[in-house]
Structure 1
Amino acid sequence: MAAACSLSSLLSLQTSLEYGLVDADSVQEKERLVYQYLKKVDERETDLKVPEFQEGLEWLNTKEPLFLSKQLSGKVVVLDFFTYCCINCMHILPDLHALEQKHSDKDGVVVIGVHSAKFPNEKILDNIKSAIIRYNITHPVVNDPDGSLWQDLEVSCWPTLVILGPRGNMLYSLVGEGHKDRLLLYCSTALHFYKEKGEIKDHRIGIDLYGNSVPSSLLAFPSKVILDSTGEKLVISDTGHHRILIAKRNGQLLYAIGGKMSDTENHLIRMVDLLEEKVSTIAGVGMQGTDKEGGAFGKQQPISSPWDLALGTAGSNEYNVLWIAMAGTHQIWALFLDDGKLPKGSEIKKGTCVRFAGSGNEENRNNAYPHKAGFAQPSGLSLALEEPWNCIFIADSESSTIRMVSLKDGAVKHLVGGERDPVNLFAFGDIDGVGFNAKLQHPLGVAWNKQKGLLYVADSYNHKIKVVDPTTKECTTLAGTGEAGSSFAQNLTDCAFNEPGGLAVNENGTLLYIADTNNHQIKILDLEAQHVSLLPITLQLADTVDSLRSPVRPPKQSRSSPRIEMSSVTVSVGQSLQCELALSLPADTKLTEEAPSLWALSSEGNDWLQGQNTVGQIQDLSIPQLIPVTIPLGQPVTGLVLVVDVFLYFCSKKDGACMMKGVTFRQPLQLSSSNQTSTSKVMLQYSF
């Protein structure tokens, strides 16, 4: 359906308003100008109608498809044209959250995310579902894979906001990021204007958050993984849980550190001192910056969406620089941990945070002068400090290229992917080849193997791991089918990943650790044996940074998980209670050996389980799982409830598809006055 108007016709009307707002001295004057503007625009409603959403589009976070002429009638509607790879689109999500906090759908404001994909991988509904959970998007989202509404309104870039009146009439547009104040002003004034006209309705639109139906997991969207200098510990960015996990190589947890560390959404770089058990900020001010030069000391320097870090050198043999993939400004920055200097630069003091490479323009531009080069959302870094390389390898996601920056002279060079035109950010695909003939799709991670002289690439949207020989610039597929999945196989190219985002190579170059982001897993690719296995993250926590208030806990049950109310059992103080779990799986499935199925105990009312073992693994379902509980002193006679949560990871024997299911048993207990010494038993049975 063709639109009666485009954004260009709206922008011509909006230009004079924007000029007036710049000169306005008070909030009241701004509101008056917007109110007068609305009068003019509303009179031209027939020229500014938006076409209806097409039938058959896929909707998320709603109970049913929404239409401007039905559920959205009588609402001020904000259409957010976005694609989930876009860092600028991520930057406006806090603005939309602020709007939703101020005005609900009952008040008359509704935000609709119109997902208009850039990459083919982003058109797939399951991938959008993962993004919605990962970015905590709580408003309705419609998947418009062919960009029908985008084309009708002549939208030209991500993100673009189009604000509609209660009759589906276009009111304003906001292109790009950084318009929070305008967004709130426009929506609030539009509400006031149309309430006076009696056109705002207070009905609910039927929000049904997709994330509520998804089971929790021990890891949630792990985005990066590295090995420490000893090679004995793994550090995992557990993005969905907003924490950093430190584990042994066998998966046993050592630390769980709360908060966001290479803190993309908080726009901070954080440092964890494991000896002092403290977290401190070493760069950033806690809000998004627009500075593209830097030069201030770390905690005074605003930064923008740091996506990856690499500890390295600059003019010294010591590890004195923290290199930063500054995705938000499309640059590479350096945070000096000691005095030093950049290639061919002047001396820089310890603590200074400064741009190293990139003009700040979003492009795929290589140049001998680092400040004249251009990046497009750099998202992964890996250092090769030995000769002849002495460089930083970069996964430049939006240009779908792998680039390198010399640490000798700062020259930025192309390695594989993309094309020669620096402004074309649509040269992507899935082709093994050499240099520009190779094609990638939104790579997010790189890892250098100095023993083999090879660079591994997380080709995220192709769901593959690729390998690049920087000497010949040849790029080939190492593992992955090219389709999203989680299966294991004897052949590497038959193994499946789902948007892998981070990589790390062990010290002797034999193992590749993979943050398989949308599968919520860390996988290990044995480069010698040529097979992939799952790293089981176990809950036997060796130590926890308590001051960070994030102990390791079992996953939370999904709201859709069964909840079984048991009959009350009479027990006495000091008596043992034996819970026997009798569980059975669907036919032709088996427990996932690599993933820790488990039970977890909790209590209602007060923490009467304190000091007892409250978490245990489930490894064999052929016999009942025994869970011992002791009833301690000082408990109330009534209201004592034991809660047993069960989480099972299991896979199909036929196609290898894996899943996690949960069930909750709620066991009321009644205290008797007699002192029983025998052990009471309760049977907890469930078939999945």
Structure 2
Amino acid sequence: MNAASPAPRRVRVRAPRLVGKGGWLNTGGKELTLAELRGKCVVVDFWTFCCINCLHVLDELRELEEKHRDTVVIVGVHSPKFAHEAEHRAVVDAVERYGVEHPVLDDPELATWKQYAVRAWPTLVVIDPEGYVVAQHAGEGHVHAIERLVEELEAEHAAKGTLRRGDGPYVAPEPEPTALRFPGKALLLSNGNLLVSDTTRHQLVELEEDGETVVRRIGSGDRGFVDGGAGEAGFSEPQGLALLDEGAVVVADTVNHALRRVDLATGAVTTLAGTGRQWWQGSPTSGPAREVDLSSPWDVALFDGRVWIAMAGVHQLWAYDPATGTVEVTAGTRNEGLVDGPGPEAWFAQPSGLAATADRLWLADSETSALRWVDPDGSVHTAVGTGLFDFGHRDGAAGQALLQHPLGVTALPDGSVAVGDTYNHALRRYDPATGEVTTLATDLREPSDAVLVGDDIVVVESARHRLTRLRLPEEAVRVEPVARRTQRAATDVTPGTVRLDVIFQAPAGQKLDTRYGPSTRLLVSATPPELLLAGEGAGTGLSRALELNPAVGRGVLHVSATAASCDDDPAGQHPACHVHQQDWGVPVRLTKSGADRLPLVLAGMDA
């Protein structure tokens, strides 16, 4: 669009104020207002740091930030799901941990979330240089559409004289001089040393047995996807580690969507699996490992002769076979939730920690606050946890015990397992023999992994940037039980028939991609299941009649929608294709005065 083109017609709604009790980060202590940002294109990113889709969007936004640095200001609004995420210190840590280089508003009470009528993490809202909301997109995969809109806004407002170029309000925080920075996972090496993924610094660090003295660093320290020697190789937020054989380690290189191999003798890094691109709907799910896209692999473990992968980005388990150099899905449907059963039918929610024994693969399923395991036949079981919205710190029988977003799991010599109960700042223990959950240690800071070293357990205290050595206690620590449920305002809907409409319109310059059949998919379920009398299951239409049970007063509707579009350019032989996807958990309350229609905006709609 050139400056002489007429401005596109859009419904213009004045953007509400940005307010949050936690205040502003990455601004040098300054409070920001939308009035101060007038003249800029503002992209407001509603996110929370537990959400893998939100982390994907942070990475999608990096290129937009860099390319349009003098005209675009991205503002993060941190909107918590878990109780821990409402702690200001935790938000400060997350902003550094994930390399967020734009202003962030800490909104622990969801004040701005409510003002903008947001329903899902993540949601992106575009505000034009005159302070009006012009678009809203839920989910990931929309930055290409937002960039096109930004280019239109730049041209339109440059012609009107309402575009202001120049530096934005971001102020980088001072770096901290610690040996580790938000370490993720650890591994005991055969020489007694410890290998740690130094996640925020994009490196691996080998430490002596004391867990403090640095032996060497592997990786340049710059975010990148580069094979080569120890000093030149590039990682991007590496996490999980596992011994591949006596001389090599496999690394879950999370933001590079890849598995890497490190030669322990030389420190040389090569790529085992992944292309560096994130997996999208329709991509292959098996084949030669270097040709298949992965999605945020968070941990790895050698089990039953293969390297199993906690594929957090698509809520599945995959496996890499070193003998054949191939990868494949081993469990999970890509639907987010907690469903046991045969591997192909099971549901996970951001599996983030793995530990193998001879007969079980244990896993920390973080978003369901669950401890689960996989048998050698591939069947999936849950030991602790009930679903996406219940969490807390409660010991006792596994059926009523609660965790809060665990990221690590460690097999113990007696057959029990230790759980890095990350958001409870605790180390917990589950004993399969008794079915009991106990607390081993508290006052840790976001423990994300642990490894056995002799009679001790060494805990990765991610938010304290260190390893902490503990003696395994003979008796459990007693704690006061706490049970919580995700706090979000419920939507009032009428009992009986409610129309669910997922609103999608292909962004400007694109059209629905129907070359291989229907371009949309909708999946609906509920917690409790009795809430839905009719309307659950999968289908291709984005509208559906739901029948809600009058006998169930409230619950959560789980809605997952996908739409595929491609560039609408008759001259292009190979149009670029895009996938728009989002999962919603919509708390609902059934009342006679409630609405009989539930609209959810997926993408492509101007506000």
Question: Normalising by the residue count of structure 1, what TM-score does the alignment of the two structures yield?
Answer: 0.62
Q: Is 1:464 the counterpart of 2:426 in the alignment?
A: yes
The answer for the alignment partner of 1:216 in structure 2 is: 177
Equivalent residue for 1:325, pick from 296, 302, 310: 310
How big is each residue's C-alpha offset from its partner over 1:401-452, in whole Å with a ceiling of 9 and x where there is no partner?
A: 1111111x211111112x2xxxx51111111122231111110000001x21
Deviation at 1:528, TM superposition (A): 5.3
Equivalent residue for 1:309, pick from 300, 313, 320: 300
Deviation at 1:219, TM superposition (A): 0.8
> CA 1:231/1:461 → structure 2, altered by over 3 Å: closer, same or farther?
farther
**C-alpha distance in 1 between matches for 2:470 and 2:339:** 33
Equivalent residue for 2:45, pick from 71, 75, 80: 80
The answer for the alignment partner of 1:524 in structure 2 is: 469
SS state at 2:469 partner: strand
> CA 1:140/1:373 → structure 2, altered by over 3 Å: closer, same or farther?
same
Question: Normalising by the residue count of structure 2, what TM-score does the alignment of the two structures yield?
Answer: 0.70
Q: Is the 8 A contact 2:310 2:316 kept in 1?
A: yes
Deviation at 1:248, TM superposition (A): 3.4
Q: What are the ranges of 5 or more consecutive residues in structure 1 without an aligned counterpart?
A: 1-27, 314-319, 339-349, 481-495, 533-688
Equivalent residue for 1:127, pick from 70, 83, 90: 90
Q: Is 1:227 the counterpart of 2:188 in the alignment?
A: yes
Give the alignment's Cα RMSD to 1 decimal.
2.2
Q: Whose helix fraction is larger, Structure 1's or Structure 2's?
A: 1
- Letter aligned with residue 503 of structure 1: A
Deviation at 1:268, TM superposition (A): 1.0
Q: Is 1:413 the counterpart of 2:358 in the alignment?
A: no
**C-alpha distance in 1 between matches for 2:254 and 2:111:** 32
- Map 1:289-688 to 2 at 5 A: 289-290=279-280, 294-313=285-304, 320-338=305-323, 350-367=324-341, 369-385=342-358, 390-407=359-376, 409-417=377-385, 419=386, 424-449=387-412, 451-480=413-442, 496-506=443-453, 510-527=455-472
> CA 1:209/1:441 → structure 2, altered by over 3 Å: closer, same or farther?
same
Deviation at 1:61, TM superposition (A): 0.7
Q: Is 1:39 the counterpart of 2:5 in the alignment?
A: no
> CA 1:234/1:531 → structure 2, altered by over 3 Å: closer, same or farther?
farther
> CA 1:207/1:466 → structure 2, altered by over 3 Å: closer, same or farther?
same
The answer for the alignment partner of 1:238 in structure 2 is: 198
> CA 1:453/1:149 → structure 2, altered by over 3 Å: closer, same or farther?
same
Q: Is the 8 A contact 1:525 1:531 kept in 2?
A: no
Q: Is the 8 A contact 2:284 2:292 kept in 1?
A: no
- Letter aligned with residue 265 of structure 1: V
How big is each residue's C-alpha offset from its partner over 1:50-91, in whole Å with a ceiling of 9 and x where there is no partner?
A: 2112375510011311111x2112221100000011111111
The answer for the alignment partner of 1:151 in structure 2 is: 114
- Map 1:25-36 to 2 at 5 A: none
How big is each residue's C-alpha offset from its partner over 1:338-388, in whole Å with a ceiling of 9 and x where there is no partner?
A: 2xxxxxxxxxxx111011011011111112x11110110000000121xxx
SS state at 1:250 partner: coil
**C-alpha distance in 1 between matches for 2:20 and 2:460:** 38
Q: Is the 8 A contact 1:224 1:237 kept in 2?
A: yes
How big is each residue's C-alpha offset from its partner over 1:97-156, in whole Å with a ceiling of 9 and x where there is no partner?
A: 11111112xx33110001001111111111111111111111000011111121222211
SS state at 2:447 partner: coil
Larger Rg: 1
> CA 1:201/1:439 → structure 2, altered by over 3 Å: closer, same or farther?
same
Once the two structures are overlaid, the 10-residue window that deviates more, 258-267 or 194-203, is 194-203
Equivalent residue for 1:65, pick from 27, 31, 39: 31
**C-alpha distance in 1 between matches for 2:210 and 2:168:** 48
Q: Is the 8 A contact 1:416 1:473 kept in 2?
A: no
Q: Is the 8 A contact 1:361 1:374 kept in 2?
A: yes
**C-alpha distance in 2 between matches for 1:254 and 1:518:** 22
Equivalent residue for 2:261, pick from 271, 281, 284: 271
Deviation at 1:204, TM superposition (A): 4.6
**C-alpha distance in 2 between matches for 1:435 and 1:122:** 25
Q: Whose strand fraction is larger, Structure 1's or Structure 2's?
A: 2
The answer for the alignment partner of 1:172 in structure 2 is: 135
Equivalent residue for 2:104, pick from 141, 162, 180: 141
SS state at 1:40 partner: coil
- Letter aligned with residue 354 of structure 2: L
How big is each residue's C-alpha offset from its partner over 1:220-265, in whole Å with a ceiling of 9 and x where there is no partner?
A: 111101223x372322111122111223323444442113342101
SS state at 2:362 partner: strand
**C-alpha distance in 2 between matches for 1:117 and 1:456:** 26
Deviation at 1:473, TM superposition (A): 2.7
- Letter aligned with residue 200 of structure 2: G
Deviation at 1:170, TM superposition (A): 1.1
- Map 1:94-113 to 2 at 5 A: 94-104=59-69, 107-113=70-76
How many corresponding residue pairs? Answer: 444
